[in-house]
Structure 1
Amino acid sequence: MAPLKNLETEYPIIDSTFRKFCASHGIFSVEDFLIHDLYMLAAFVEQDISSERLKEGITQVLSIIDDMHQPWWNGMELLEDAKRNKHVLPTGIQGIDLLLGGGIHIGQLTELVGPSSSGKTQVCLQTASNVASNHMVLYIDTSNSFSPERIAYFLGKTIDVASAQAKNQIVQKVMSNILCHSVFDIFAMFDVLHQLESHLRYQDGGGCQMRLLIVDSISLLISPVLGSSSTQGRALMLSAGYLLKKLAHQHNLAVLCSHFKTPIHGFWEGCKICDLGPALTG
């Protein structure tokens, strides 16, 4: 979801005056509307000399939020969609691919769960390495755990060419196909996801296409906001899940999110869940 300043081009009503009013109440993005007391905001609007225009702006933002809700689909539409998105991206890890029916499914959100030090980041890095041979990968790193050295190591084990120059070219190609963003709070993640959504919307279909989004680990972003006593944490978690599933479905992406094994995992309905325990030992 977008910062308000990014919406003015498409929605002129969300101008500098409207944004200044919102900023005075701690509202800077569409997400902020989800967690704000709109009744209280409406009361402040009534006291402003530009109340009618401000009401139009609020109505416009609420309309943007409403447009985010998924439409009603019948069973046949869901079946056809499942057939379109049946393709998978192999992780390169036999146990994981077997558990997931071939790999990470395009058009779906997959949760990778396990306790600390169970190998979640290892799976994320190896999946990125495997997929980036043919597709673009966006890797959102929340704990400075992204390691290009590990990816190079994985590639060294799988590249089957004799020439050192050819190996180096493959490594360079894979590395250039992985875009890494470090984010340390949930709002920074929303910012990156919104930029990704804009990029995917204008992809021309040529060249190397973005096919995989990895968030490692989303627990580190969600757990802090869930610790508050307000409804903010729940709203932000729901918004994150919705946006990730929307990106997967509308733009034919495979989305992989790693989680600590806590009550948070499995919260987003309709996700595939891969538990590292049986996946790595089975």
Structure 2
Amino acid sequence: MAPLKSLEAQYGILDSNFQSFCASNGIFTVEDFLLHDLSVLAAFAEQEPTSERLKEGITQVLSIIDRQHQPWLNGLQLLEDAQQNKHVLSTGFKGIDKLLEGGLREGQLTELVGPSSSGKTQLCLRVAANVAIQHKGRVIFLDTGNSFSPRRIEHFVRQISGSVFNEKVMSNILCHSTFDIFSMFDVLHQLENSLKSQGHKGDCKARTLIVDSISSLITPILGGSGPQGHALMTSAGFLLKKLAHELNIAVLVTNHMVAGEGGNLKPALGESWKSIPHVRLLLSRDQGNKTCSISILKHPSLASGEVARFVIDD
């Protein structure tokens, strides 16, 4: 979300006095509000000469946060939007595309869950290459752990296009290194503003946003028992869904696995997160070979438990 200073022109109540009050409490951006106990902040405001105006400013910021969430839409509006704007993008793997009845759907947040070395990043890189080639779209790849490999992308591009190096395709896969959740918020808001201002101009529409991995950004802020980390996690999830819906792009995020009861592996980020993605897919890899399995954990229109197998080539 934006720095408070950038909101002053649109919201006069968030003036320099309000910004100074917030700064004295370590608040500089809308996200910072999610890290504070708002009842304590309101109590501090009560002690100021302009307490009523400061409390109006706090309410205004909260309304800005609320507007992240999608508005109510009726069934007809949703159907028309799905038919006209939400296309299906092939992943480049026939097994996955068959399982998902075509691939990743624009307007949806898809989560790919899997243990270490299961092939999550390789699948993301292949999806990026395939969307750029087959759908002639731009791909934004948020790399949170130095996993993005331009050589691997080049390999997939050559593999898909028949050993031909395609410079234009490579230039349409944009990578941002993002190592904390606040950097991700900044990049996503810049992306939102950029794509909305461009509209349908240009010869290459953004089709896919990939975050590899979302869990490496969120896990560090979930420590302790306070609500702030969970609030930020929810805010990140709703922002990704908002971008998917409003910009008509497919959003793909990866999530690692952690030990649960009895030592069994389970998706990280817990119960609060699992309801956020539209689609959850579980990825596993046969030990010692290239064959992978992917199954549906959650899908708005397909049965859970369905499985497909595919091969990630070296």
TM-score (norm: length of structure 2): 0.82
Question: What is aligned with 2:90?
Answer: 90
1:205 to 200, 203, 207: 200
Larger helix fraction of residues:
1
Does residue 273 of structure 1 match 2:280?
Answer: yes
Question: What is aligned with 1:264?
Answer: 269
Quick check: 2:106–2:244 contact (8 Å CA) kept in 1? yes
Does residue 109 of structure 1 match 2:105?
Answer: no
Per-residue Cα deviation, 1:214-265 (whole angstroms, up to 9, x for no partner): 0001110111112222111211111011000000001101100011132437
Instruction: Extract unaligned runs of 5+ from structure 1.
Output: 162-166
Structure 1 window deviating more from structure 2 (111-120 vs 92-101): it is 92-101
Does residue 141 of structure 1 match 2:146?
Answer: no
Does residue 44 of structure 1 match 2:52?
Answer: no
1:148-163 alignment to 2 at 5 Å? 148-160=150-162
The two structures, once aligned, show a CA RMSD in angstroms of 1.9
Distance 2:187 2:86 in 1: 27
Quick check: 2:109–2:251 contact (8 Å CA) kept in 1? yes
Question: What is aligned with 2:302?
Answer: none
Distance 1:70 1:160 in 2: 42
Structure 1 window deviating more from structure 2 (147-156 vs 254-263): it is 254-263
Does residue 183 of structure 1 match 2:188?
Answer: no
Larger strand fraction of residues:
2
Quick check: 2:110–2:277 contact (8 Å CA) kept in 1? no
Quick check: 1:99–1:274 contact (8 Å CA) kept in 2? no
Q: How many residues get paired?
A: 275
Distance 2:69 2:86 in 1: 23
Distance 2:142 2:69 in 1: 25
Question: What is aligned with 2:58?
Answer: 58
Measured at CA, do residues 159 and 69 of structure 1 come closer, stay the same or move farther in structure 2, by a change above 3 Å?
closer
Quick check: 1:238–1:268 contact (8 Å CA) kept in 2? no
1:58-77 alignment to 2 at 5 Å? 58-77=58-77
Quick check: 1:137–1:177 contact (8 Å CA) kept in 2? yes
Structure 1 window deviating more from structure 2 (73-82 vs 53-62): it is 73-82
Instruction: Please give the secondary structure, in 2, of the residue aligned with 1:123.
Output: helix
Question: What is aligned with 2:247?
Answer: 251
The Cα shift of 1:50 comes to: 2.8
Instruction: Please give the secondary structure, in 1, of the residue aligned with 2:224.
Output: coil
Question: What is aligned with 2:218?
Answer: 222
The Cα shift of 1:270 comes to: 5.2
Distance 1:119 1:274 in 2: 13
TM-score (norm: length of structure 1): 0.90
The Cα shift of 1:86 comes to: 4.2
Distance 1:152 1:210 in 2: 19
The Cα shift of 1:97 comes to: 1.6
Distance 1:38 1:226 in 2: 19
Structure 1 window deviating more from structure 2 (152-161 vs 88-97): it is 152-161
Per-residue Cα deviation, 1:101-141 (whole angstroms, up to 9, x for no partner): 21111111111111101000001111111112311111000
Between 1 and 2, higher relative CO (CA 8 Å, sep ≥ 6) is seen in 1
Distance 2:118 2:234 in 1: 26
Distance 2:127 2:20 in 1: 44
Distance 2:205 2:86 in 1: 17
1:119-134 alignment to 2 at 5 Å? 119-133=119-133, 134=136
One-letter amino acid matched to 1:255: V
Instruction: Extract unaligned runs of 5+ from structure 2.
Output: 258-266, 285-292, 295-307
